[in-house]
Structure 1
Amino acid sequence: MQDYKKLFDLSGKTAVVIGAASGIGKASAEAIGSLGAQVICADADLAGAEATAQEISALGLASATAMKIDAADGKDIEVLAQHALQLLGKIDIAVSTPALNIRKLIIDYTEEEYDRVMNLNMKGAFNFFRSFGRPMMKQGFGSIIACSSMRAVTIEPGLGVYAASKAGIAQLVKAFAAEMGPYGVRVNAITPSIIETKLTAPLKERADIFKTYAGHTVLNRWGQPSEVGSAAAFLASDAASYISGSSLLVDGGWTAIDGPPTGLTSTRPSE
């Protein structure tokens, strides 16, 4: 019988997580590290990345280090990939989560704001795929994980540019999975909905919005970074060995329904 527990074990694996200082990136690094992988925690916030690395190392399962990078800078991402190869000898897992959202109507967007969002979200993913795809192609294995969003498939006013960038990531994932599959490399995306992170902190501060967004999910609550990090660790593991080109929804059922689940209710059946 297949040893299913071993499929989730990342012992002996190596990983790079971009965005590891906070939120979903931090949770992804922690989840992957807690399953046994060596992790390089990369972020523009070096102190935050170092703190994450220390927490992972303290588990005693694998070592973790930190590196400062700008996820919107293609040269920085390439330097990170080469550093990982030199330090780790191989790259089994690469995860990138950083994103920027400027909440404005499209007619009110400036070109500079558009470029800021697209350079980090969309172009950042493009550079991430190239820099980590090349060494994985040569070694003949690996799992690449990007971060999309349920906004790739459902929208609200003021999120058009952000949503376009996340939809673009989902399409890049499909294309890159097709290109990398013959080389034994899997490419996927995690696709969260409303998660309690720095990016969503301004929304959480408004009780009415916090409650409304929670009500859009079938679970009637916001998600935690750890719930998305767990999904990233799954996609990184051999338990997901036949999954590629996928955008794994971690959205509490938001995209499964048309609006808040406030329709007919039923009485629990009696015993």
Structure 2
Amino acid sequence: MTDYRKLFDLTGKTAVVLGAASGIGKSSAEALASLGASVLCADMAAEGAEATAAGIRNNGGAAEATTCDAADAADVTALAAKALQKFSRVDIAVTTPGLNIRKTILDYTEEDLDRVINLNIKGTVWFFQAFGRIMTSQKGGSLIACSSVRAVTIEPGLAVYGSTKAAIGLLVKGFASEVGRFGVRVNAIAPSIAETALTGPFKQRPDIYNLYAAHTVLNRWASADEVATAVAYLASDAASYVSGSTLFVDGGWTGIDGPPTGLTQLAK
């Protein structure tokens, strides 16, 4: 009989999390470490990355921190080299950074467009290249990127951001088709609304906060930890036959056509 508990165990595995200073990246690093992985926490915010690594170590885990600009190809390549030097192999590589400039298409400037594409699309490609080379060489590994519900459902001002998140889903499918023969899996998570430091200001606007909560069937925001559990699953052997997929962690947002309002009672 299969030991299903062991499938989720990451003891002896190595992981790199880019975007580990805060939010979903931070929780992902903590989740992987909690399940036994040794984690390299990377972020442009050096102090935040070190704080995440220190928190993991204080809880008995193994973690170190380093700096990396996810939109800089040379930086991402250097991160992969550093990880390989430290671990000798990289079993799990997760990238979470993303940028949204909320403007209508008519208002977008070339600078706006470049910033969003450079991080969201090019950054994902650089990450896949750098860590994909390591994983194809070692004949195994799990790559995880971060998409969004905005890849499939949209509102005014999010078209450019949403298009980059949709692109990530296709990059995942395409790269999975290219590296699967080497035993490398490539997937993405797609959160909807998660409570992080970046979304904290929404709590100051209860009307907006509650409006977004109502888009989910659970009528609430996610915690970053709830999203990180999906990362941990995709990183683990429990997902050994999952590749080329985007796992939606959206509280049912994409399962319904608009907010589930107007219901006074459940049908009997």
TM-score (norm 2): 0.97
Measure the CA separation in 2 of the matches of 1:263 and 1:165. 33
Measure the CA separation in 2 of the matches of 1:229 and 1:106. 32
Q: Is 1:63 aligned to 2:62, yes or no? A: yes
Once the two structures are superposed, the pairs formed by residues 229-244 of structure 1 within 5 Å of their partners are 229-244=228-243
Are the equivalent residues in 2 in contact too, given 1:147–1:191 (CA < 8 A)? yes
Give per-residue Cα distances to partners, 1:50-81, cap 9 Å, x unaligned. 01101111222x41000011111010000000
Measure the CA separation in 2 of the matches of 1:188 and 1:228. 14
Q: Shift of residue 230 of structure 1?
A: 0.8
Measure the CA separation in 1 of the matches of 2:248 and 2:179. 22
In structure 1, give the amino acid aligned to 2:40: I
Q: Which position in structure 2 is the counterpart of 1:208?
A: 207
1:267–1:125 distance in 2 versus 1, CA, 3 Å: closer
Give per-residue Cα distances to partners, 1:72-119, cap 9 Å, x unaligned. 101000000011001001000000000111111110111001111111
Measure the CA separation in 1 of the matches of 2:195 and 2:266. 32
1:158–1:203 distance in 2 versus 1, CA, 3 Å: farther
Structure 1 spans left out of the alignment, 5+ residues: none
Q: Which position in structure 2 is the counterpart of 1:179?
A: 178
Measure the CA separation in 1 of the matches of 2:8 and 2:22. 24
Q: Which position in structure 2 is the counterpart of 1:6?
A: 6
Measure the CA separation in 1 of the matches of 2:97 and 2:30. 16
Q: Shift of residue 149 of structure 1?
A: 0.2
- How many residues get paired? 268
Q: Is 1:20 aligned to 2:28, yes or no? A: no
Moved more, 160-169 or 196-205: 196-205
After superposition, the CA RMSD in angstroms is 1.2
Partner SS state of residue 248, structure 1: strand
Q: Which position in structure 1 is the counterpart of 2:124?
A: 125
Structure 2 spans left out of the alignment, 5+ residues: none
Measure the CA separation in 1 of the matches of 2:266 and 2:141. 48
Identical counterparts, % of pairs:
65
In structure 2, give the amino acid aligned to 1:47: E
Measure the CA separation in 1 of the matches of 2:210 and 2:92. 36
1:51–1:261 distance in 2 versus 1, CA, 3 Å: same
Q: Is 1:147 aligned to 2:136, yes or no? A: no
Q: Shift of residue 265 of structure 1?
A: 4.9
Measure the CA separation in 1 of the matches of 2:59 and 2:23. 19
1:105–1:3 distance in 2 versus 1, CA, 3 Å: same
In structure 2, give the amino acid aligned to 1:94: A
In structure 1, give the amino acid aligned to 2:16: V
